[in-house]
């Protein structure tokens, strides 16, 4: 629940502040190429300090997000602790908790009922805010950095490493969505960039598109990436499928709502 604090601030206000501070670090690092200057005197020490602050902020942000009104989390917690039969009268007639054989409410059914109850009272803006909060909870710090790097709409090269078949076609894929965007964003785990990009595509925040010839130099750099070279060793004849990635329409809307550098505005 979004309980008010003595100073008049609620959990949602704290979450907004933490998100703003965490996002400022991720966005600043991605836009300024902070990680690319690691060899400069004192930069490595400064970077460790930034990473530590970033981890602390994101850890606290996730804790605070769990305190904000979350029907799914609340229903699961409440239903798991229930030691009494479900009372259908507590929910709309069309949304009835289904008891199991021992007369206890099933957590998943209770959670679904709770979500359906909230959907009745959610307006367009509140529903969108909740949707974005759910997405935000799923992002890792490195993925937030990648999204920040993509937020201006610029495309980045992406490559799949596949096994070439005898007829010249594509066989099994040994590496999917390798990209230079990780280095541009200064991620902590460069070898996980293909997985990060794949997850962001799955969340609908990033789109995969055709190869862009003007990015030829970046494609050449990507081909020397350690992750790409390692994947190439696992196939007899490698084929590289070139694509590009860029922020999707949903990703742009999500970033506009969450961008810590922007002034608060309506989500509608």
- Separation CA 146–CA 228 (nearest Å): 18
Alpha carbon distance, N-terminus to C-terminus of the chain: 23
Burial 243-253 (b: 16+ CB within 10 A, else e): bbbbbbebbbe
pLDDT in tens, 229-254: 999 998 888 999 999 999 999 999 99
Could you tell me which of 213, 201, 180, 191 has the C-alpha nearest to residue 248? 201
pTM for the model stands at 0.65
Q: Tokens for 81?
A: 């602790």
For residue 76, pLDDT beyond 70? no
Q: Which residue has the tokens 């709309």?
A: 92
Average pLDDT over residues 38-49: 53
67 or 103, which is more confident?
67
- Separation CA 142–CA 147 (nearest Å): 9
pLDDT in tens, 87-144: 444 444 444 444 434 445 577 787 788 778 877 777 888 888 889 988 998 999 999 9
For residue 23, pLDDT beyond 60? no
CA dihedral (189, 193, 194, 197) positive or negative: positive
90 or 184, which is more confident?
184
How far is C-alpha 189 from the chain's CA centre?
Answer: 15
The phi, psi pair for 202, rounded to 5°, reads: -60, -35
- For residue 56, what pLDDT is reported? 64
183 or 10, which is more confident?
183
Q: How far lies 178's CA from each of 48, 168, 173, 230, 245, in Å?
A: 26, 22, 12, 12, 10
- Separation CA 161–CA 235 (nearest Å): 9
The phi, psi pair for 214, rounded to 5°, reads: -65, -10
């Amino acid at each position: 629940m979004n309980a008010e604090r003595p100073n008049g601030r609620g959990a949602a206000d704290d979450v907004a502040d933490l998100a703003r501070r965490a996002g400022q670090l991720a966005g600043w690092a991605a836009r300024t190429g902070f990680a690319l200057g690691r060899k400069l005197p004192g930069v490595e020490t400064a970077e460790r300090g930034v990473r530590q602050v970033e981890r602390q902020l994101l850890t606290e942000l996730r804790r605070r997000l769990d305190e904000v009104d979350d029907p799914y989390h609340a229903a699961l917690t409440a239903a798991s602790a229930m030691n009494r039969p479900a009372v259908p009268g507590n929910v709309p007639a069309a949304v009835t908790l289904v008891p199991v054989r021992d007369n206890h409410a099933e957590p998943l059914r209770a959670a679904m009922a709770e979500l359906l109850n909230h959907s009745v009272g959610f307006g367009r803006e509140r529903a969108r805010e909740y949707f974005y909060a759910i997405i935000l909870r799923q992002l890792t710090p490195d993925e937030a950095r990648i999204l920040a790097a993509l937020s201006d709409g610029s495309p980045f090269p992406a490559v799949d490493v596949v096994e070439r078949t005898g007829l010249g076609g594509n066989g099994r894929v040994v590496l999917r969505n390798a990209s230079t965007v990780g280095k541009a964003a200064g991620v902590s785990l460069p070898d996980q960039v293909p997985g990060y990009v794949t997850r962001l595509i799955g969340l609908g925040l990033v789109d995969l598109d055709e190869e862009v010839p003007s990015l030829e130099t970046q494609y050449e750099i990507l081909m020397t990436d350690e992750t790409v070279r390692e994947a190439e060793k696992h196939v007899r004849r490698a084929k590289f499928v070139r694509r590009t990635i860029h922020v999707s329409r949903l990703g742009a809307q999500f970033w506009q709502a969450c961008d810590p550098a922007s002034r608060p505005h309506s989500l509608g």
